[in-house]
Structure 1
Amino acid sequence: MAFYVNPIIYTLFITLFISFTTLANSTLNMWPGSQYDTSIPTFKQVLGYDVGERITDHRDMLRYFEALELADPKRIKLFEYGRTWEGRKLIYAAIGNSENIADLDGFATQMQKLSDPRKTDKNTAKSLINQLPSSVWLGYGVHGNEISSTDAAMMTAYHLLAAKNEPTNQAILKSTIVFIDPLQNPDGRTRFTSRYYATVGMKHSSDRLSAEHNEPWPSGRSNHYLFDMNRDWLAITQPETAGRIKAMNYYRPLVVIDLHEMGGDQSYYFSPSAQPFNPHMTKTQIDNMSVIGKNNGKHFDRLGFDFFTREIFDAFYPGYGDSWPTFYGASASTYEVSSSRGEIFKKNTGEMLTYFNTVHRHFVASISTAEAVAKNHEKLLADYYEYQVSAIKAGKDNKKERVFIMPNQRNKAGTHRLATLMAQHDVDVFRAKEAFKSCGKSYQAGTYYIDTAQPKGRFVQTTFTQQVDMDSNFLKEQERRRSRKLNDEIYDTTGWSLPLMFDVDVEHCGKAITIASDKVSENDKLTGAVTNLAATVGYVVQWGDMAAGRFLTEALLQNIAVKSADKAFVLDGKHHFNAGSLIIEKRNNDADLMTKIEKIAALTGAQVMGVNTSWVTQGPSFGSGNTVTMTAPNIAMAWDVPVNSLSAGSTRFVIERQFNYPVTAIRTQTLKTADLSHYQVLILPAGNYKSVLGKAGVSNIKQWVKQGGVLITLGSATKFAADHTVALLDVKRERAFKDSDDKSSDDKSKEESMVDGKLFTSKDDLVSASENSKEKPDYVAGVLANIEVDQEHWLTAGVNKSLVAIAAGNDIYTPIKLASGKNLAWFNAADNVLASGYLWEENKKQLAYKPFLIHQPMSKGMIISFTQDPTTRAYLDGLNLMLLNSIFRASAHASPLR
């Protein structure tokens, strides 16, 4: 007997059946024993695929979280915390019981009270601890090609909302607010997903040789400006970092987890971290992460997941997403899962690692962490308050460096930048409204100071103190390993003092400062001013900081005629100006110059002096040959393979976003034959260009330089320029210095089948004979090194005579001969070369007095080479003026046919 079936109802039935079947096969097995409320939408219902079946892109991630909020608005709330450079929305979700979600602002207010024992006594704190929920912040996908964490974030949110009767879930939501930042790097993930699915053929390949598993340049790891944003937590240069720091400073989550991926052949990593720990972290914080790690281990054992702890990923450098939160009092850690880098990956063991596997593990770790926070919520709150109490006490007890003082007389722009940056970190920074004395020294009104007797005092100590030491036993072990020719276990840079990197003068005192002061805000603007705006002759801008640098770039972009003095000068016997100072003459500019000058000064914070005379009593006159006319150069930068993407990104960012000047990125292959005649500057970021450019590319660039171009090489690009087959730069890299009586060559011994016998009397003889006589210097993870600057060259005009640079890797160069060029900055003596961090003794000795900045004229153009990268992570602000000179003053000194 036939009967009618409504096609709409039939379709709906089939859809629900498929959804239920898929749910039963995957989602229900992710946390055994869970039953899910059908009122909460699944992946399948919103996106058309189940969890772990496909790599979710940014747009669909937003759709899914919006669907969750629509379905259960009382228990989940979404917030936008910023936009990426490419305009993508950044969100976090707060999930909890309806009472807590209804009063998130009230929760934040109470956490702020708990964060400051100067305002909240112990009795009030105890009451808050008894009332407040605990909180955990789960951050996913800061590296855009570490893909599983975002889908795990979505599954975590779904589980928290839909598994209403699951006991673990109930315990979490009863006492804890879970903050989920599901995708910290939308631009990088979009780059990855679009390229990945473009390579997929008839079926997904598990072969690590396949295009699916080999990303094109640049990878999806970094954001739009190619920053590794897990290293941006100190300088806060990127909008993604700034937004989440603001949110975390608002809520002060007690536990922060940053979820990552690692190599596909590994298993899963979680806390406790490897040695060394930052000495400004507390034992309680470290112990709390061990408790959470142990809870993770329990669930991983239950589900049969492999894992490991302690072996890698230390907690020393304070600029990671898992270390920065510890300095407001949180306990924090990194989690790492083996990556499928696609939908399926064949491990070396032969096991097939699926995308679902990786999502599943991150999901379990997320729920397990939230469970541990809930179980320990009162202890975590109490520990958090005690952290603030002990931080204030530690500051008061510091009789040497209680207060850091920034005099603000030299490098005003840099000092202002550092003061407002610390305020952005939620540090209490003050600016004196009057002159004062501290520890016997006099300071002017406008001086900035930071008292470490505050809740963020440990953060100030770890970022302002010149040296933060690693554990002595850890260092002994590294030296032992090095003696055995084993790789060291130092994970990242070992020196990061912000005042040194920003070239900011800082002094300290062991006593509190009590004077009339204004509290500094992150939004405070650097005030520019023009004295004698109605000047008859023109205007002069003192050179020496980035306010003046930005004044120059803005003036050039507005077609204002600007000169720059190669040497210091004295105007009318009264006013002293540094070498490099800018001169804007009314006679060479339009009638609206006065209005433009006033607006640019206000925009850039520059100090401008109007002058009624050009009578110079010392140094070059306005019309001297030592006063050059500045030009607005067209800047090209090498882009694409083999360029180091981090170097390219940070360099482009510094020029475009800190100098406020445009850069044209040109693919390296194009440079082989491109007509570069309309560019005045070409920058080669770090990278090994030899194989890509070849002889034709080298010849093309060399001819362009000879015709008046300025070639700037950074870091390992200098290695390329110095290669004897390239012969752009007349220096050479050095092998490791060997202080040995045995001067025989490896090459000579290879010419014979046998060599003369030797007697060994100790193990040291064996080690010595085993060494390669032509090996490179030992590799350095990264330290801050002192450099000295030649003060008598136009390229270093206005640059401080002493600066700090990053020294990393093992490239050390011979000085350039005077017949070829000049060494304009060099590393200090062996006993003073180390500014901060840990540097092998042999490297100290060999690095001493070796060049950092090299200038080599070539016909009408020139080559300017930095032996280390001056734009690393865009946090070496103190080197910005040197780089700016290398672009703008150098192009003014080149002599192309115009």
Structure 2
Amino acid sequence: MTSRRLIHQLAALVLLVASTSVWAQNPGDARAEMSYYLPQGVQYDSAIPTPEQVLGMVPGEWHVRHDQLVRYMDAVAAASDRVSIERTGRSYENRELVMLTITSPQNHDNLESIRQRHLQLASSTDVVDVSDMPVVLYQGYSVHGNEPSGNNAALLYVYHLAAAQGAEIEAALDNAIILVDPAFNPDGTDRFANWVNSRRAINVPSTDPHNLEHNEPWPGGRTNHFWFDLNRDWLPLQHPESIARIQNYYRWRPNVLTDHHEMGSDATFFFQPGIPSRTHPITPVRNQELTDAIGQYHARVLEADQRLFYTRESFDDFYYGKGSTYPDVTGSVGILFEQASSRGHARETENGILRFPFTIQNQFLSSLSTLQGALALREELLTYKQSFYQESRELAGQSPVKAYVFGDSADRASAYRMAEILRRHQIAVHELASDLQVGEQRFEAGRAYIVPLEQDQYRLIESVFEQRTEFPDTLFYDISAWTFPFAFNTPFAALERRQFNAGLLGVQIDIDDLPAGQLVGPQDAYVYAFEWDEFYAPRALYRLLDAGVRARVATEPFTAMTSDGAREFDYGTVLVAAGPQDVSQETIRELMQQASQDDGLSVYVLNSGLSQQGIDLGSRSHANLRKPEIAIVVGEGVRASEVGEAWHALDQKFAMPVSLLTIPRLRQADLHRYNVLVMASGNYSGVDAAAIKSWVQDGGTLIVYKTALAWAAREELASIKLIEDEEGDQALRSYAEQVRDSGEQLISGSIFNARLDLTHPLGYGYNSALIRVFRDNAQFMAVADNPYATPLIYSDDPLAAGYISAENLEKIAGTAAIVVSRQGSGRVIAMTDNPNFRAFWYGTTRLFMNAVFFGHTISAATAQ
């Protein structure tokens, strides 16, 4: 490794800025030429192909597609002994996820030993000598597919690192391991690139902001295949792109991670640090000091070319589920870059014409300045990582809480999915070795998990279990709470020193298969029964119904004899008689075996139609079930993320087909081929409400939530009342206070206590009346006049975690979270909140699935 003094010298030379710069200052003068992008005075190895030689275009001339991006990266890796490339996964649309490792040939020869030594910074209790250790950077681009300057800049950055010649770049690569993820979001990248490339002028680009090229259609290229924002998935890890990314991250545990974005076209350029008061309290102060120190290098290169930028406003470092903030709780330094977007190839802005090559060049410059800063601060960054984990272990030792235990013996799947995510975050999770009583909660050995706090990821563990309700700043860029056990609706408890002992730690789990259930009883069956408690029960039921099996649901509890003796079956138990059926008994038995193995269900064989207590198996109180035929309204005016979350739940979690209908198609379709219709937030002024009402009256189940409630109420589809703000005397306030005053009344993302009627069809499968609901809106709904029509209501003490203003806290207490209305033979189920939030709010996804499967069974007398 090069000496510390020389490191500082070469860091100052990496960019070759100041007198050697030929970068254009005016965004309108930017041009798609390699001589425009690259620093003057650097010689490049002719054996390394340029993007133009491989792709037939210079970056910025066209928007690069993902296949082109991968093709170029492969070509560079094949030509350079500084670069290697790996396939790390595939997106939903089967696009390859790739990772490049760029360093000196000598480091490549010893890469595994360097990696193992670097990992000791997190795990070793001894002081590790970092004087000759390379710094590790993870530089990722365009997690939002319609923010393309990032992945187009990746072409230039990789070329520069592979081809630049001279002592400075060789020393830099000898002292750094650079991991490049050129496209965080391949599916969104291609959706956007194909749009703008196919609508650009060939000779003279239109700079008109109203031009088609600059206005992509719904759902836009920001999101992945299911319309999720992947920059909110670093903690939940619900998507293949995120899972591959976090595996890459932990293979190295980098010192610096960069996340390259775009923002509104009239802005300039942003880099972190963000708003200081909105840094999560768990993040060490030293993290922000290092962020600021690296920021000085970004500032110098931008100032040298008179480019405008800003820091410490607009963006924050609070939610650990974002790419630039997740590193801050795991011993690294995350840095967000936001570049004003040209949207297409050139666009009029408040600052003049903004051309695509200018936006690419700023991302290229900030990539280089990150390397420059990391090299200059190499030892500080390496020492910080070591001290971060040492301090984490010390904090764990000082904490009165020694472990968290969580689990639900009735719903093993939800707890398992939570444990699986923790393991992906390199958190040690153990099976509970012996039964444990904590207050009124009982956790069963083998059906619960325990997470000891004295481990490297102490800070991350605290962040996912905490129930924070007080904050140094009450404005948030994203959500203010994400307590994992609340999301998965799984009981949990903190164990203090007197409650915890090492004997509670069973086998440490790994990411494996879902815990299997069992098929209990003899080969011959009169009736099969399984309760609705397990999360994947809807998947099993749909498989049965889709195969033509008739099934019913118990609307009252009963006790029946099984081969294990008498057993109580709760509300929502699914019953499948062996006959009469149109499907053979052998097929039904196979489906039941599949339900036990693949869906984790305990399926019981019942061989008597007489119950020990309660209703008999042939009772009319067991409601007949129908196979859901589901349509979701999508398209212009509809919140893509919310309908994407519903689509994802049905497709990925429950293997159920869905029809996605745009509003024009909804007007043309024969609605009677569907029996469930989902309408999330959106503008539905173009919907034929009369046709929807007629469909509901004929027996359809309409599920509406969030802003769709106002439309359903206005069109008299749902008999609900939204609570309006009362006009009152307003004290005079200063102009400067307006942003904060209005922001403090937002509910940007908090968790609330709600009480559920466990006897109601929407409550089937729950075993506690207290559930936690995630809310990110300030719309309130009154309790229904019919006393049976509000199955879910916010408690009188509603805040569980997160921020809410005192005014809104008073408003939400005792309001309705769900109201059920009747229209003829059908039902309208109105929810104030999105039940499928970010795919990891398993606890309320069950409400959604209950509405899908049991909405039609809700008694008319209990609906508004």
With normalisation by structure 1, the TM-score equals 0.87
- The answer to whether the 8 A contact 2:701-2:856 is kept is yes
Q: Any unmatched runs of 5+ in structure 2?
A: 1-29
Residues 255 and 332 in structure 1, CA contact (< 8 A), matched pair in contact too: yes
SS in 1 for 2:657: coil
After superposition, what is the alpha-carbon deviation per residue over 1:651-700, rounded to whole angstroms, capped at 9, x for unaligned? 1001111122111111111212321111111111221212x21xxx1111
Name the residue aligned to 2:419: 419
Residue 809 (structure 1) aligns with: 777
Using a 3 Å threshold, how does the CA distance of structure 1 residues 440 and 561 change in structure 2: closer, same or farther?
Answer: closer
State the match for 1:107 in structure 2: 114
Deviation of the 1:311 alpha carbon: 0.5
Aligned-residue identity in percent: 26
1:184 is paired with a residue of what secondary structure?
coil
- Residues 552 and 575 in structure 2, CA contact (< 8 A), matched pair in contact too: yes
* Change in 2 beyond 3 A, CA 1:780/1:55: same
**What is the DSSP-based 3-state SS (H/G/I as helix, E as strand, rest coil) of the residue aligned with 1:544?**
coil
3-state SS of paired residue (1:122): coil
Aligned CA distance change for structure 1 residues 538 and 304 (closer, same or farther; 3 Å):
same
Which residue matches 1:591?
585
**AA of the residue aligned to 1:637:** I
CA distance in 2, matches of 1:109, 1:776: 46
Q: 2-side partners of 1:134 and 1:588: how far apart?
A: 69
Q: How far apart are the structure 2 equivalents of 1:407 and 1:639?
A: 36
Following the alignment from structure 1 to structure 2, what is the Cα–Cα distance between the partners of residues 81 and 468?
38
| Match of residue 502, structure 1, among 484, 488, 502 | 488
Q: C-alpha root-mean-square deviation of aligned residues, in Å?
A: 2.5
Instruction: Report what 2:810 is aligned to.
Output: 845
Question: 2:68 aligned to 50, 60, 66, which one?
Answer: 60
Paired residue for 1:789?
756
Contact 2:32/2:59 (8 A) holds in 1: no
Matches within 5 A, 1:269-308: 269-274=270-275, 275-308=277-310
Equivalents in 2 of 1:155, 1:569: separation in Å? 68
- Which residue identity does 2:175 align to in structure 1? S
Please say if residues 705 and 863 of structure 1, whose CA atoms lie closer than 8 Å, have aligned partners that are also in contact.
yes
Deviation at 1:706, TM superposition (A): 0.7
Match of 1:824 among 791, 800, 804: 791
Shift in Å at residue 173 of structure 1? 0.6
Cα distance change, pair 25–698 in 1 and its aligned pair in 2 (3 A): closer
Residues 221, 25 of structure 1: alpha-carbon distance in 2 compared, 3 angstrom cutoff: closer
Task: Tell me what 1:880 maps to.
Answer: 845
Say if 1:601 and 1:386 are closer, same or farther in 2 by CA, change over 3 A. Answer: same
Please list the CA deviations of residues 376-403 of structure 1 after superposition, one character each: whole Å capped at 9, or x if unmatched.
222211211111111111112111x221
Separation in 2, partners of 1:634, 1:437: 44
Shift in alpha-carbon separation, 1:677–1:338, aligned structure 2, 3 A: same
Q: Is the 8 A contact 1:562 1:583 kept in 2?
A: yes
1:698 aligns with 2:689: yes
SS at match of 2:57: coil
Q: In the alignment, which residue of structure 2 is the partner of 1:660?
A: 655
> Contact 1:540–1:582 (CA<8 Å) still a contact in 2?
yes
| Dislocated runs of 4+, deviation >6 Å | 437-442
Does the 8 Å CA contact 1:786/1:834 hold for their aligned counterparts?
A: yes
Given that 1:141 and 1:183 are in contact with CA atoms closer than 8 Å, whether structure 2 keeps it comes out as: yes
Matches within 5 A, 1:721-736: 721-723=712-714, 726-736=715-725
Match of 1:89 in 2: 96
What is the Cα deviation at residue 252 of structure 1? 0.9
Deviation at 1:444, TM superposition (A): 3.2
1:122 is the counterpart of 2:133:
no
How much has 1:804 moved relative to structure 2?
1.2
Aligned 1:307-456 pairs, distance under 5 A: 307-349=309-351, 351-399=352-400, 401-435=401-435, 443-446=443-446, 447-456=448-457
Equivalent pairs, count: 814
Structure-2 change in CA distance of 1:300 and 1:23 (3 Å): closer
Change (3 A) 1:173 1:414: same
Do 1:213 and 1:341's aligned partners in 2 also have CA atoms closer than 8 Å? yes
Letter in 2 for 1:538: V
Give the residue type in structure 2 aligned to 1:813: M
Separation of aligned partners in 2, 1:95 and 1:776: 43
Kept in 2: contact 1:185–1:223 (CA 8 A)? yes
Whole-angstrom distance in 2 between the partners of 1:427 and 1:42: 42
2:85 corresponds to 1:78: yes
Deviation at 1:613, TM superposition (A): 2.2
The aligned residue for residue 532 of structure 2 is 543
User: What SS is found at the alignment partner of 1:112?
Assistant: helix
Q: CA deviation at 1:584?
A: 1.9
Query: How many Å separate the matches in 1 of 2:376 and 2:365?
Result: 16
Q: CA deviation at 1:439?
A: 9.6
Q: Distance in 2 between matches of 1:109 and 1:577?
A: 53
**In 2 relative to 1, CA 24–408 (structure 1 residues): closer, same or farther, beyond 3 Å?**
closer
SS in 1 for 2:751: strand
Q: CA deviation at 1:115?
A: 1.9
**Which structure 2 residues correspond to residues 202-221 of structure 1 after superposition, within 5 A?**
203-221=204-222
Residue 31 of structure 1 corresponds to which residue in structure 2? Answer: 39
Quick one: which of 637, 640, 646 aligns to 2:635?
640
Picking from 692, 699, 716, the partner of 1:708 is 699
Aligned to 1:199, the other structure's residue is in SS state coil
Q: Which amino acid aligns with 1:843?
A: N
Secondary structure of 1:575's counterpart equals strand
TM-score, scaled relative to structure 2:
0.90
| In the alignment, structure 1 residue 688 sits paired with structure 2 residue 674 | no
Structure 2 partner of 1:862 = 827
Match of 1:47 among 42, 50, 55: 55
- Cα deviation, 1:316-363, whole Å, max 9, x if unaligned, reads 1111011122222111121111110111111123x1111110010000
* Cα deviation digits, residues 265-287 of structure 1 (max 9, x gap): 11111111213111111112111
Residues 626 and 383 of structure 1: is their aligned pair in 2 closer, same or farther, counting only changes over 3 Å? same
Q: Residue 407 of structure 1: CA displacement?
A: 4.2
**Are the equivalent residues in 2 in contact too, given 1:143–1:220 (CA < 8 A)?**
yes
Distance across 1 between alignment mates of 2:244 and 2:743 = 43
CA deviation digits over 1:355-377, x for unaligned, max 9? 11001000010011012112222
Structure-2 change in CA distance of 1:130 and 1:529 (3 Å): farther
Conserved in 2, the CA contact under 8 Å of 1:633 and 1:891? no
Sort the Cα spacing of 1:790 and 1:215 in 2 relative to 1 into closer, same or farther, 3 A.
same
Corresponding letter in the other structure for 1:878 = G
